[in-house]
Homo-oligomer: A and B are copies of this chain.
Amino acid sequence: MDFSMKNWFSEVNELWPGQSMSLKVKKLLWEEKSPFQHIQIFESETYGRVLALDGIIQCTERDEFAYQEMISFLPLCCHPEPKKVLIVGGGDGGVAREVVKHPLVQEVCQVEIDERVVELSKEYLPFMACGFTSPKLTLTIGDGFDFMKNHVGEFDVIITDSSDPVGPAVCLFQESYFSLMKCALRPGGIVCSQGGTYWTEMNQVKDTLTHCRSQFPVAGYAYSSVPTYPCGQIGYVIGSLNENTNLKEPTVIFSEEELEKMGMRYYSADIHRAAFTLPRYAANVLK
């Protein structure tokens, strides 16, 4: 039962032992070791262009919208007036592309630690890097922790678009990070972090949610389908400083026409509500 995966990219990682997603490679476009991570960009046979960091698929042209729309619009639509937004990470530009679509968002700050991801995305992943061109956006290259320490009480929504909790992103899943985000929020502010999948990382999901709950009176876990993430899905840990927030019910509801105009392919108010409904065993562990 050996398999020769010639010209395939296979994602093998100890975060999800014994399973591997592979994509057939048409052409490797770029590869380098930045000061922070191993960056690979390739053209795949059937998923368009792909960005991988440290051997883990971050986004593919075919399904990235599912993740970017959800990590952006779940928190944005829980906030009645998300005027000023901070994005931590998200160096490919995809989350910025989504956040600036929201008509109530006036100003977006983004802080990404690895300048090379931004530069390479601009060169090879224009469908995401287009997010950087918005006049609403100010991009800072640096450390999210340092940035937030200098921007206390400034943001309505903070979105953390990080890689998985190995390597440079480990600190973004700890309680101290949620505490720091809390300080950087305005009253009633909302945070949303990439939160892993309950299928392979239940303990990690539970820990992240516990950290969020320790700092925010309202917290929850939602998920969406993304074929090229482990187990075909990814989760979102969301917290609100407003104890009256019902995360499952969007505060801002867009019409079909508005969603169409914004080019939304995954997000809708119905998907927002359904995203918080977990399989029974996961609901019991995370309740």
CB distance A259 to B280 under 8 Å? Answer: yes
| Chain B, residue nearest A20 (CB) | B22
Q: A273 within 8 Å of B by Cβ?
A: yes
The prevalent SS among residues of A at the interface is mixed
Q: A4 within 8 Å of B by Cβ?
A: yes
Q: A152 within 8 Å of B by Cβ?
A: no
Q: A283 within 8 Å of B by Cβ?
A: yes
A279: chain B residues at CB < 8 Å are 66, 224-225, 265-266, 268, 271
Whole-angstrom CA separation of A9 from B20 in the bound complex: 10
A46: chain B residues at CB < 8 Å are 17-19
A interface residue count range (under 10 / 10 to 19 / 20 to 34 / 35 or more):
35 or more
Q: A166 within 8 Å of B by Cβ?
A: no
Question: How distant is A123 from chain B, measured CB to nearest CB, in Å?
Answer: 19
Given A22-B3, A25-B1, verify A271-B265 contact (CB < 8 Å).
Answer: no
Please give 10 more A-B residue pairs, beta carbons under 8 A apart, in addition to A2-B7, A18-B45, A225-B225: A1-B7, A1-B9, A2-B4, A2-B5, A3-B10, A18-B47, A63-B199, A232-B232, A265-B279, A267-B280
Can you report 19 A-B residue pairs in the complex whose CB atoms are below 8 A from each other? Answer: A1-B42, A2-B4, A2-B5, A2-B8, A3-B10, A3-B22, A4-B5, A18-B24, A19-B23, A19-B24, A19-B46, A19-B227, A225-B231, A227-B230, A233-B233, A266-B279, A271-B277, A271-B280, A274-B274
